[in-house]
Chain A
Amino acid sequence: MNMNHHQFFELEIADIALGFMPLTDCAPLVVAYELGYFADVGLNVTLKKQYSWATMRDKLHAGVLDVAQFLAPMPMASTLGLSGEAVNVIAPMVLSQNGNGITISTALYEEIKFSNQIHRIDFPISAALLKPIVEARKESGSKLKFATVYPHSCHYYQLTSWLTQNNVAIDDVEIVIIPPASMVEALQSDDIDGFCVGGPWNAKAVRDGVGVTGVTSCDIWPDMPEKVLAMREDWQLRYPEATKAIIFALQRACNWLTHVANRFEAARILSRHPYLDLHLSVIAPSLIGSCLVHHSLSPRHIPSYNRFSVEGIDTINKPELFHGEWLLSQMVKHQHIEPKQAQETLIKKVFRQDIYLSAFGSPEAKNNVAVFKSTKIGL
């Protein structure tokens, strides 16, 4: 079937600079590029690999990047001006759900068994088991140290949720921010006791024998947006058709990623140099629903470890009001924003489901998306 989708979008611009982070859940962006979905809608997309969220944000604000993969709370942080000048950034599409995990050092894993006087630990690991250790450290004047990737991130909020849900006070541990690629080394050198990060870094720690992945984000709060498509509000106003075309192509990619078999193929693509540049054995597991837990234990089966789209469900990619409410409630809880900043008007301004829906507005487009859902498109 030769599908040509030029006719759907009267593009105002064809050349698009798209920023992505070399993490497992950049899969939709890479798949849309590699499988020619962007080209099919007439877009000439250049994927721009980024190395920090702060620079990704600055570049999007400045227009050096046209569109970008953002952590779900970031568009609201940009709009509120939480780090730098306020820039209206919108999120017209959810790119992925879940995908994060908390990995602790093998030393802490052993210490948990010892101080709780147990021989084995059930998964997901409850943070309640940390309590005796947290108390002991308190007496010796030290704290358990956890790392995560960015303040305005689901990782940060999931890490603290895991602790507080089990009555471990956030103040009783130390949380630092370091880049994902530095996590495994920091764990190995005992600089930290654990981290909350996205793939492939949890699997890498387990494969290297330095960490135990105790919990996934599916265990803490499942099926919330993890990464979103972000662009400046004025960019969308200037290029509404190009925006729709990008969403359309990315939706095709997400739908393709519904199938486990395709996700393994995605892992192969991601392992290449321009993308993650890491071995397939650390990228593939989370994509095919496997959570490596410990180098000598069987993996846990977590079907939605990395979710991009779900068969049978209408769509998980449409930004919903309750997604925004949830994220804002986390930001208030951590005093990243004031309660009065958590407004429904802010969510509606940022989480633009109207734009998402407009990408599939024409009946023709809708039919074609349906076709993609039921067709397995080979490489």
Chain B
Amino acid sequence: MPKEKKQELNVLLIEDDNNKAEVLINALDCSQYCIRHVATTGMSLLKQVEQLQPNIIIIDVESPNRDILDSLSILSTSNPKPVVMFSAQGDTETINATVKSGVSAYVAGGVDPERVRSIIDTAVAQFSAYQALKSELVKTKQRLSNQRVIDQAKTWLMESKSLTEKEAYHRIRKMAMDNSQKLEDVAKNILSLAQLLEKSS
């Protein structure tokens, strides 16, 4: 079987200290990773993250800029990125044991290239799995809430128009088809109308 060529990953390395950065760059296989090293902070860093759209970010665990990256995953205004953190201190192993969100992984600085690579690969894989799970969860939630809205609209129609459940459902479906709208959007309209009527009565 021919060797599958791995897709090159864009890596953004954030590090003020050039010596430290060099250790990491050397540890990473340049044929597999396209590494961009920046030493900026604050707003200029945020701009670079947005501009470069890296696949993965590597940052010192003690960097104040970590909160910028953390906020990108919490506020998810832009695409969250897997973040790998390195630390000169030995406490990274302990931290790793508890950080399993898939968003972050810790790596000790100056370890052998083989390990750095495997940690980064794992981080990317974990992150993708985590993101897939997260978006699945959002979809499920959306589905559930759509169903709830439709049920409420049905109930309102049944009570106010003395329809059977089946009739109420057909009514909503017909309106949706006539106006080429989604069922949940029709249901939402019915409910806001119901609210309006209740307020005025």
Chain A residues in the interface with B (C-beta under 8 A): 51-55, 58-59, 61-64, 82-85, 87, 147, 149-152, 176-183, 185-186, 189, 191-192, 336
Chain A, residue nearest B65 (CB)? A179
Closest to A180 in B: B64
Known: A182-B64, A192-B43. A151 touches B71 (CB 8 A): yes
Binary contact readout B37-64 vs A (1 if CB under 8 angstroms, 0 otherwise):
0000111101100000000000001111
Cα–Cα, bound, A82→B73 (Å):
10
**A62-B99, A63-B94, A84-B103 given; 8 more Cβ-contact pairs under 8 Å:** A51-B64, A55-B85, A62-B94, A83-B70, A84-B99, A177-B68, A182-B42, A186-B42
Residues of A near B103 (CB, < 8 A) are 83-84
17 A-B contact pairs sorted by A residue (CB < 8 Å): A51-B64, A52-B65, A52-B66, A52-B67, A58-B99, A59-B91, A61-B98, A62-B95, A83-B70, A84-B100, A84-B103, A84-B104, A85-B101, A150-B71, A151-B74, A179-B65, A186-B43
B43 is contacted by which of A151, A152, A182 (Cβ under 8 Å)? A182
Contact status of A179 and B64, CB under 8 A, knowing A151-B74, A192-B43: yes
Contact indicator A177/B75 (Cβ below 8 Å): yes
**A147 to B44 CA separation, bound complex (whole angstroms):** 13
Partner of A179, one of B41, B47, B73, B91: B41
Q: Interface of chain B, helix or strand or loop or mixed? A: helix
Given the interface contacts A53-B67, A55-B61, does A85 sit within 8 Å of B98 by beta carbon? yes
| Residue B97 at the chain A interface, CB threshold 8 Å | yes
CA of A59 to CA of B69 in the docked complex: distance in angstroms?
Answer: 17
Out of B43, B91, B98, name the residue touching A191 (CB < 8 Å).
Answer: B43
Question: Is the beta-carbon distance between A54 and B91 smaller than 8 angstroms?
Answer: no
Q: Could you say which residues of chain A place their CB within 8 Å of the CB of B47? A: 191
Chain A contacts for B106, CB-based, 8 A = 58
Closest CB in chain B relative to A335 CB, distance in Å: 10
What is the total number of residues of chain B having a CB less than 8 Å from a CB of chain A? 34
Interface residues of B (CB under 8 A from A): 41-44, 46-47, 61-75, 85, 91, 94-101, 103-104, 106
Q: How far is the CA of A189 from the CA of B101 in the complex (A)?
A: 35
Whole-angstrom distance from the CB of A276 to the nearest CB of chain B? 14
CB distance from B192 to the nearest CB of A (A): 19
Q: Which residues of B contact A51 (CB under 8 A)?
A: 62-64, 66
B104 touches A176 (CB 8 A): no
Q: A178 touching B43 by the CB < 8 A rule?
A: yes
In angstroms, Cα B47 to Cα A185, docked, is 15
Assess the B67–A83 pair: CB atoms within 8 A: no
Query: Smallest distance from the beta carbon of B49 to chain A beta carbons, Å?
Result: 11
- Complex: A63 Cα to B92 Cα, angstroms: 11
Quick one: closest B residue to A53, CB to CB? B67
Most B Cβ at <10 Å: residue of A55, A63, A64, A151? A55
- Please state if B43 and A181 are interface contacts (CB–CB under 8 Å): no
CB distance from A64 to the nearest CB of B (A): 5
A177 touches B73 (CB 8 A): no
Report the nearest A residue to B85, measured CB to CB: A55
For A87, the chain B residues whose CB sits under 8 A away are 98
CB <8 Å contact, A179 and B43 = no
Residue in B46, B63, B67, B99 whose CB lies within 8 Å of A61:
B99
In the bound complex, residues from chain B placing their C-beta under 8 Å from that of A85 are: 98-101
How many angstroms from the CA of A243 to the CA of B46 in the assembled complex?
39
Q: Which of B46, B64, B98 contacts A58, CB < 8 Å?
A: B98
CB–CB B66/A64 < 8 A: no
A52 to B68, CA, bound (A): 9
Q: Which of B62, B67, B91 contacts A177 (CB 8 A)?
A: B67
Q: Which single residue of chain A is at the shortest CB-CB distance from B66? A: A52
Q: Which residues does chain B contribute within 8 Å of A189, judged by CB atoms?
A: 43
Docked CA distance A55–B106 (Å): 11
A135 to chain B, nearest CB (A): 23
Shortest Cβ gap from B42 to chain A (Å): 3
With a CB–CB cut-off of 8 A, which chain A residues contact B97?
62
Residue of B whose beta carbon sits closest to that of A335: B75
Q: Does A54 lie within 8 Å of B64, measured CB to CB? A: no
Inter-chain contact B67/A185, CB cutoff 8 Å: no
The distance in angstroms between the C-alpha atoms of A304 and B29, with both chains bound, is: 55
CB proximity of B117 to chain A, nearest CB, Å: 23
Residues of A within 8 A of B66 (CB): 51-52, 54-55
Asked if residues A176 and B67 are in contact (CB atoms below 8 Å), the reply is no
Instruction: Say how far B85's CB is from chain A's closest CB, in angstroms.
Output: 8
Smallest Cβ distance from B147 to chain A, in angstroms? 17
Most buried by B among A52, A181, A189, A336: A52
Q: How far is the CA of A84 from the CA of B63 in the complex (A)?
A: 19
A151 and B41 alpha carbons, distance in the complex (Å): 18
Contact of A178 among B42, B62, B63, B99 (CB under 8 A): B42
CB contacts (< 8 Å) of B43 on chain A: these are: 147, 176, 178, 182, 185-186, 189, 191-192
Q: Which listed residue, B42, B62, B96, touches A55 by the CB 8 Å rule?
A: B62
